[in-house]
Amino acid sequence: MGGGQQPRPAGTGTTRAEAAAGLAEIQRRREQVIKAVLVPAWYWPAMAAAMIAYGAGRDIRELAVKATVIPLAVLALAALTGAVIPELRRRVKVHTAAQPGARAVVAVAGMTVLVNAAAISTAASLAAARAPYPATTGCAAGAAALVIAGPLLNQYGRRLMRPGPGSRRAARRRPAAPHEHRPVR
């Protein structure tokens, strides 16, 4: 070997620096996958604005304005939803092992129920009370719930996809040390 490098003894593998660099690369790629799967931060306020526009369209009395605002708001809602699909947004195929699974599905469903309950119950209550602009106000309530709960949902999803040192997911991935005995289940 030239250049003053010492040959490594057989079986020693990589140096600590090489191992650290390899672990850093793994972490960087894991973060890329997590970022590709999570909903971007801009989505929540953009979706909230489209929701409020839809509600305002429902409350407008002029038919021509209503016929313009409602379809545009619905198109915006559909476009925003399509924009956050990872395969379309980043042109990546996300391996199913990187996706959070059933707990994340329950969290998304729970948030959907929360946002819709806030919007519908507020709008229905205001309409029953004959308050002005019930749909706009109801959609604003749902939008507020979305803007608050959306980032929290992202944090939860990130936690699900990033196994901590004590998590069951981390324990499944970590090979047992030679001195460690794990019972067979």
Q: Give the residue among 180, 114, 169 at the shortest CA–CA distance from 144.
A: 114
C-alpha Rg value of the chain to the nearest Å: 25
User: Is residue 182 within 8 Å of 176, Cβ to Cβ?
Assistant: yes
Angle (CA) 115-121-127 rounded to 5° is: 130
Check residue 142 and give its pLDDT. Answer: 97
The answer to whether the beta carbons of residues 106 and 132 sit under 8 Å apart is: no
The model carries a pTM of 0.69
pLDDT at 106 over 80: yes
Asked if 52 and 73 touch (Cβ cutoff 8 Å), the reply is: no
**3-state SS assignment for residue 35:** helix
Token pair, residue 57, equals 């369209």
Q: Provide the residue type at 33 as one letter.
A: V
Q: pLDDT tens across 32-77, in order?
A: 777 767 888 899 999 999 999 999 999 999 999 999 999 999 999 9
Q: How far apart are the C-alpha atoms of 147 and 18, rounded to whole Å?
A: 43
Residue type, 91: R
pLDDT, tens digit, for every residue of 156-182?
Answer: 988 887 766 654 554 455 555 555 555
Cα separation, 141 vs 115, whole angstroms: 8
